[in-house]
Each structure stands twice: as structure tokens, then as C-alpha cells.
Amino acid sequence: MSGKGSILRAYRYATGLLEPAAAGLLLWRQRKGKEDPQRLAERRGWASIRRPNKPVVWLHGASVGETVTLLPLIARLQKRGFAVLVTSGTVTSAKLLAARLPAGVVHQYVPLDVPRYMRRFLDHWQPELCLICESEIWPNLLIEAKRREIPVVMVNGRMSERSFLRWYKLPKTSRFLLSCFEACLAQSHGDAERLAQLGAPRVSVAGNLKFDVPAPPADPDMLAILDGMTTGRPVWIAASTHPGEDELVLSAHLALKPHLPKLLTIIVPRHPQRGPEIEALALANDVAVSRRAAGGQPERDIEFYVADTVNELGLFYRLSQVAFLGGSLVEGIGGHNPIEPAKLGSALLHGPHVHNNAEIFAAFDRDGGSREVADARALAEAVHRWLSDPASARQAARAAAQTAHRLGGAINRTLHTIEPLLMRVALGQRDLS
């Protein structure tokens, strides 16, 4: 293990030695609702389905945002005849992918980064190529793939300033791990510069794949029903909210009520299991609330609607004139993807904490499609401004849609760059029956 540095050797040793603790961690996460009990073995590298008898391209994204980002690549790779394996690490992402993956694409939970788990996973799936989304740099995954000569490419690569500073303190470790990537296709020039400075040998800028992801779908029958329920009402959505933001959204709603008596506020928690606590918060403030997971609908007497379900954001974005993107009014999250509501006709609002999507929000802000708000009062004022002036809201929504369209094209640049690897995979097709 020379050249990897003492820290990496210690990590390898510790993750192997603490394998029993990893199994305990999975059981603890299962009790907390963070693991699927029916598929827990997948997190230990045991496959739940046979390997397809053709070349396998493995794509990995950590959670909802990353896996949705991979959808255009998944579709294009499947169209070319590759078997596609997608992994992610969260229950929410698995539920979303179950609804949005093309037929024939396999999803598995990614194993914990324990040497034996990774070896077990790779021994079964034997992928000919691995595409890792954004900034998932797991030492055992990369080392085991390198030992098997599996090319690994970072797609939609991201290296925030905060992550860069952490990795910069570990120069030998970062240089070795990034050298395991055949190529790093960065979202932006800033990401590319930081990756190269950390030691990634082959870095290029492909752009952000999120701009090429199709708008999230909506069931047309349900859309017609809910559109009928909300016609004539000013509607806005607070999407992907986190603890600490729910209170701010409710405060903004209460401030808006005297000015917009028919107002409907839709709140979609990032983690649907928090729906009951948000409902309780609204009830404690004498707000008429219903919760979708409990069968509630946004009836005329409902003013606060908790949409605590999975894979329905496309439905609620289509009902809303204004969308606030959560994870941005509380520190530590970094702001969630604004591209989906931009493609579906919403004017956009966000808080100041958007470091995970800083360049995207900056582009929307510059073009007039989004505005930054600092707190609940500013949120209420911005929502009121747009809901009371629909023409201005439509203008902002058009600007957001135009920005999203202008910044697309990363899918073609990504496929062009990895084409030699795809050709190598196709030419190396083998019979594994």
C-alpha cells in the first residue's frame, strides 16, 4: 500500500476491522427508518438479482439529487445496449428510482465502504465501467475497482471550496484517490481547478448534467384533480425543506394570510417521514392543514398542505406559481436543485446558504429568474410580491426557464468524452452464462 499514505492505510485497516460495527450500524439505521429491511443485505454487498449477460455499466449517486442527475445518462446508455446498474445509498432515492428508472435498469443499494462488502459487490456485478456522480470519493470502492482494472469516471464532478480545503490537508491521500479516476468531468471551471489542484490527472469541464434532466413527471389525472381544487387560489410551494425551515415557512404563511386570504402553501419536506411533525406544527398554530400521506387533499378550507410523499414534486411544481427551494435558509445543507421548478414554470426563491449549487443559483439570480431571501419576513414579502403581481411572476418564471435551457448540453459533452471507454466496453463483450 505504498504511496497511499498512512491515513489511507489506517482507513483501510479500520473499515476492515470494524466490519461487525458496520453491521450494527445498518441495524441501527434500519430502526430509524433509514434502511430498507427487505434489502439490507445489499448494503453488505450481497446482490438481490442476477447479473445481466452483457456488458454492465455501473452508475452511482449518493442520494436523490445525484441519482436524478444520472437519468439522462442512464437512458442513453441503455439505448446503446448496455446493461445499466444504478446504486444509491438512501431509501428515498430508491423509491424515486423505482418510479423513474427505465424498464430493465437494475437498482441496488451501494454497499458500505467496507473492504469485504465492496469485494463481494464487485465480484458479483463485474462492471466494465463505473460512472460516479459528483463527489463520491470512497477509498475502498476506488481501490477495489482499481485492482480489477475497472475504469472509474467522475461525472458531473463537483469539489466545493469547503471540501477542497478538507482534502487539501491530506495531499497524498487526495492525490492517490483522484488518480484512481480515469477522468473527472467537472460541472464548472472552478470545480475543475480544485480537482486538478488536488491531484486529479485528467480533468475537463463538461457542464452540469442537472440541466439535461427532464422535468419531473406528474400523473395527468391527479394533476387535473388538484388543479381543479386549487383554481382561483394563489399557490406557492416550499420544496425540500429541512428542520428549522418548516417554522420559517409557516411564519411566512401566517404573515401572508391577511393579504392573500385564499392562499395555499404547499410544503414538501426533504424527508417525507417528517410529515406528521410538520402537520403538528401547523395545528399548534391554528392553521388548517392536511397531509397527503394520510390521504388529505388541498380542499378549499385547507391553507397548509403537507406533501409528504415521494416522486410527486413534479405534480406540485406544476400547481405553484412560486417555488422556494429548501436547504437554503438553514446552514449546513447547501441548497437544493432549482432546475426542476424552473423547467415547470415557477418563479424561484432561495435562502443565502446555497454553496452546493452556488453557480446555478447565481445564474438564475443574474437572469432574473430567482431571488434571494434572508429570513421568514423576506420570504413572505417576496412571495407576496409575485403572487399579487402574476405578470411579474410569469416574467421571472420565463427567465428561469430560459436560463435552464441555455445551460444545457452537458449530456452530449459527457458522452463524447467517455466514448472511447464505451467502445472498449462494447468490444469487450463476454458471455458470462
Exposed/middle/buried for residue 301 (C-beta within 10 Å: 0-12, 13-18, 19+): exposed
Q: Which of 8, 273, 220 shows the shortest CA–CA distance to 115?
A: 8
Q: Which residues pair with 235 in a beta bridge?
A: 264
Q: Taking a C-beta distance cutoff of 8 angstroms, is the pair 179, 195 a contact?
A: no
d(CA 206, CA 412): 9
Residue ranges of alpha helices (H) inside 45-169 are: 64-69, 71-79, 91-100, 115-125, 139-147, 161-168
Strand partners, 236: 265, 322
Helix axes 189-197, 161-168, angle to 10 degrees: 10
Expressed in angstroms, the distance from the first to the final Cα of the chain is: 35
Active site residue 66: yes
35, 42, 66, 245: the catalytic one is 66
- Which residues have a Cβ under 8 Å from the Cβ of 407 and sit 6 or more positions away? 207, 208, 211, 360, 363
Question: What is the three-state SS of 232-282?
Answer: CCCEEEEEEECCCHHHHHHHHHHHHCCCCCCCEEEEEECCHHHHHHHHHHH
Q: Cα–Cα distances in Å, from 208 out to 66, 211, 214, 360?
A: 11, 6, 13, 9
Closest CA to 80 of 50, 108, 109, 102: 102
> Counting every residue, how long is the chain?
433
Place of cell 411566512: 252
Distance of CA 70 to the CA centre of its chain: 9
DSSP code at position 301: T
Name 163's Cβ contacts closer than 8 Å, sequence gap at least 6: 135
- Classify residue 18 by its DSSP letter: T
Catalytic residues: 66
